Amino acid sequence: MTTANPLLNPTPLVDYDQVMPEHVLPAIEQVIAEHEAGLQRIIEAQEALPTWDDLVLAVDALDARLQGVFYSIVPLMFRDEAWQTQVHACFGLVDVRFKQKLKNARLHALYRRLADSELGVNLDAHRRSTLAQALEEFRQAGALLDDADQDRLVQLEAQIRELEGLFAANIGRSVEHSAIHLTDGQRLGEVPQRLRDEMAQKAKAASLTGWLIACEEAACKAILEHASDRDLRQQVYKAYHTRGWDAEAGHDNEPVLERLAKARHEKARLLGFANHMELSLRTKSAGSVERVHEFLDDLARRVSPMMQRWQAGLRRTASDMGLTDVQPWDLDYLQAMGRRATQALSVERFREFYPLGRVVEALRDLARQLFGLTLNPYEAVGAWDPSVSTFEVVQDHAVIGYLYLDLVERPGKQSGSVFTSYVWNRRIDAEGIYHGAVAIVFSDTSAGLEGAPPLLDPLALRKLFHEFGHALHHLLVRTSNHVLSDVRRFGTDGVEVSGKLLERWACNAAYLASISSHVENGGVLTEAQVQSVLASQETGVRECAENLSRALFDLDLHQAPDDGRTIHERAEASYAKVSRWPMAGFEKPMHAFDYLISGYDAGYYAYLWSDVRAFDLFSRFEREGLLDAAAGRALQEDFFAHGTARSLAESIETFLGRPVSATSYLRGLGLNDTGGE
Ligand SMILES: [Zn+2]
């Protein structure tokens, strides 16, 4: 008996009400088999004369279906464990299938022949760019290597995966073993009640009385900012900044990271690149290793004096309090003390003015005013959870795609799930049929207590606007094939620009005041009130310096991993270059730098790079109006619409009417620009 599998029938969206756990794996297995057989058919049929429609668009259709079915399945992992097991089983399978495709020398040869043929050289610019991108992808996957080198590549890739897994596992072990148990509540000082309650809950869950401080960012940050107990701050700081290292248990991420960097280096060399950094930049927007160096060095040169001034100021504040030997575990506390004095409104109170429903309305309104988009609630099919909203996206009376918003934490949804999934890329198939874009925005807004609406604090607002920016970029692309419409192909530095850009609205006091509406009485905040809260959250130059030193370290490690210097020496050099506060003797700052194993290796600079561009793009809206329709349309026409058909730099320059400048970004940090970039 065959029953229709709803995951294989998106018209255009999956009806999740019809999906059962037993549909998941068979759907992926079937679509993988179709992909494999389909490619084989294409290869055989195209052997005589490869053409645009029957090679490129036919492969596009297969890739789109595999991607679409897979990303339709991903949200199901946020149901319960039975679903998670099913979805996790699919991850590896899809990854392997795409890798196999790109290692297929016969398929690569057909793309090559088409590109070099008379037909190929006379294709229009978009199609030539598509072919060039596809060929580059084959090269990076090793399709051009001989059998022995292909085998070595497979070995190296397995080794890299294993080392990445070990690095993550070592961090996980430290986190698990380093929670700090307190029985004296006095020691928590001014830690906000909500966080204290969470700590008490964690203790209870571990059958303890009192409070348990987990070795994770939010809890550690709360202690470092609010606990006047200096010993406790030191204890927490040490636990957090030695993650990935445990002398007793013999876990040490330093040799793991060294081996990982060397394996990546060898892989890059095998593929014909000088180092892993050079390989990584082939799929990014920055252009060249030299360009990234220049960018980081220039920023370091300007940020370093500012950091020195900040350090001197902090030492003065400390000395006024009788503290002469300021240590790294005092910095957050001292900084927070200074801010508390000027804050007009608590973050807890601020949240009451941003109930989720109101904020989603504001996002829809922003999309309408800037881009003429209408987001109509779409209820024809069920989503994977009742809290998810589905919208049909209309522009100029045409449905251009669909958007899901899955924004609230719930049991089963992994904490910290903040990302955007690009389910279907916009494309026009060989029959001329239009396929719209589908995006899913995930965020981790805390659920409201006892049925009350979820409320957003400044960070939750930023996260939501950021992801909404990614979704808008994906929906507003106007290119016609699966490759050019894939904004991920800008690389992490390029794709982040749209997210960082929309974040600017969520950091603008006037805009936030204009969308505030108290959850109970609809009351509003003034711009000054919002400004005081935003200022209290601002990490400014210190965060920039931290990101800079990490980016410099990443660049250094992945450019010259075998020059004999240790991880610690590299870390110290990166700290010195941006005048970061010197490390404590026990500190192991790179042992838990997990961005190096989550796709940001040889690419951590992307955060700063995209921030500089986002601030610059936003400066036009600051000048012309935050809801200015002409500036919005220009952003779509000059930037979003082109997909990857032209370089990010060109699109940004067209929108700005000049090359990118770091001035707006530096001004945002409170720096006076001293020329350059
Ligand atoms: Zn992002």
Q: State the DSSP H helix or E strand holding residue 22, giving kind and residue range, or none if neither.
A: helix 21-46
Q: What is the token pair recorded at 38?
A: 């389909």
How far is the centre of ligand 1, averaged over its atoms, from the C-alpha of 73 (Å)? 21
pLDDT of residue 675: 37
Distances (CA, A) of 128 to 63, 112, 139, 671: 19, 11, 17, 43
Position 227 pLDDT exceeds 50: yes
How far is the centre of ligand 1, averaged over its atoms, from the C-alpha of 206 (Å)? 35
pLDDT of residue 388: 97
How far is the centre of ligand 1, averaged over its atoms, from the C-alpha of 498 (Å)? 8
Query: In the predicted model, what is the mean pLDDT of residues 409-432?
Result: 90
How far is the centre of ligand 1, averaged over its atoms, from the C-alpha of 464 (Å)? 10
Report field, pTM of the whole predicted structure over 0.85:
yes
pLDDT of residue 676: 34
Q: What percent of the chain clears pLDDT 70, i.e. is strictly above it?
A: 98
Q: Which 3 state secondary structure label does DSSP give 173? A: helix
Position 38 pLDDT exceeds 90: yes
Cα separation of 239 and 294, whole Å?
35
How far is the centre of ligand 1, averaged over its atoms, from the C-alpha of 463 (Å)? 9
The alpha-helical segments, DSSP class H, found in 74-124 are 81-102, 105-116, 118-121
pLDDT of residue 416: 77
Q: What percent of the chain clears pLDDT 90, i.e. is strictly above it?
A: 80
Cα separation of 168 and 200, whole Å?
27
How far is the centre of ligand 1, averaged over its atoms, from the C-alpha of 467 (Å)? 6
Domain spanning 251-270+273-341+541-604: CATH superfamily: Neurolysin, domain 3 (1.10.1370.10)
How far is the centre of ligand 1, averaged over its atoms, from the C-alpha of 494 (Å)? 10
248, burial (CB in 10 Å: exposed 0-12, middle 13-18, buried 19+) = exposed
Position 342 pLDDT exceeds 90: no
pLDDT of residue 672: 52
Residue 646 neighbours by CB distance under 10 Å: 16
How far is the centre of ligand 1, averaged over its atoms, from the C-alpha of 419 (Å)? 7
Question: 674 pLDDT band (50/70/90 cuts)?
Answer: very low
Cα separation of 454 and 64, whole Å?
35
How far is the centre of ligand 1, averaged over its atoms, from the C-alpha of 234 (Å)? 33
Q: What is the token pair recorded at 360?
A: 């989603």
pLDDT of residue 3: 63
How far is the centre of ligand 1, averaged over its atoms, from the C-alpha of 599 (Å)? 12
How far is the centre of ligand 1, averaged over its atoms, from the C-alpha of 470 (Å)? 7
Position 673 pLDDT exceeds 60: no
Query: In the predicted model, what is the mean pLDDT of residues 295-320?
Result: 92
Q: Among residues 633, 12, 660, 664, which one has the least CA distance to residue 294? A: 660
> How many CA atoms, within 13 angstroms, populate the side-chain half-sphere of residue 673?
12
How do residues 263-276 score in pLDDT, each as one tens digit?
Answer: 999 999 999 999 99
Cα separation of 593 and 567, whole Å?
12
| In this structure, CATH architecture of domain 6-145 | Up-down Bundle (1.20)
How far is the centre of ligand 1, averaged over its atoms, from the C-alpha of 323 (Å)? 40
Cα separation of 561 and 261, whole Å?
6
> Look-up: residue for tokens 């109006």?
625
> Look-up: residue for tokens 């290796």?
601
pLDDT of residue 216: 85
pLDDT of residue 177: 87
95, burial (CB in 10 Å: exposed 0-12, middle 13-18, buried 19+) = exposed
Rounded to 10 degrees, the C-alpha dihedral 621/626/629/632 comes to 50
Question: 1 pLDDT band (50/70/90 cuts)?
Answer: very low
How far is the centre of ligand 1, averaged over its atoms, from the C-alpha of 99 (Å)? 24
How far is the centre of ligand 1, averaged over its atoms, from the C-alpha of 159 (Å)? 28
Domains in the chain: boundaries: 6-145, 179-241, 251-270+273-341+541-604, 345-374+448-538+609-677
For the 345-374+448-538+609-677 domain, the top CATH level (class) is mainly alpha
Cα separation of 165 and 639, whole Å?
37
Question: 671 pLDDT band (50/70/90 cuts)?
Answer: low
How do residues 73-84 score in pLDDT, each as one tens digit?
Answer: 999 999 888 898
How far is the centre of ligand 1, averaged over its atoms, from the C-alpha of 200 (Å)? 33
How do residues 499-548 score in pLDDT, each as one tens digit?
Answer: 999 999 999 999 999 999 999 999 999 999 999 888 877 767 888 999 99
Tell me if domain 251-270+273-341+541-604 and domain 345-374+448-538+609-677 are identical in fold: yes
Cα separation of 559 and 602, whole Å?
8
442 phi, psi to nearest 5 deg:
-110, 140
Cα separation of 116 and 479, whole Å?
23
How far is the centre of ligand 1, averaged over its atoms, from the C-alpha of 12 (Å)? 26
How far is the centre of ligand 1, averaged over its atoms, from the C-alpha of 81 (Å)? 27
Mean pLDDT of the chain: 93
Pairwise pLDDT comparison (18 vs 342), residue with the higher score? 18
How far is the centre of ligand 1, averaged over its atoms, from the C-alpha of 496 (Å)? 5
Q: What is the token pair recorded at 526?
A: 């003034």
How far is the centre of ligand 1, averaged over its atoms, from the C-alpha of 251 (Å)? 32
How far is the centre of ligand 1, averaged over its atoms, from the C-alpha of 187 (Å)? 37
pLDDT of residue 507: 94
Pairwise pLDDT comparison (388 vs 178), residue with the higher score? 388
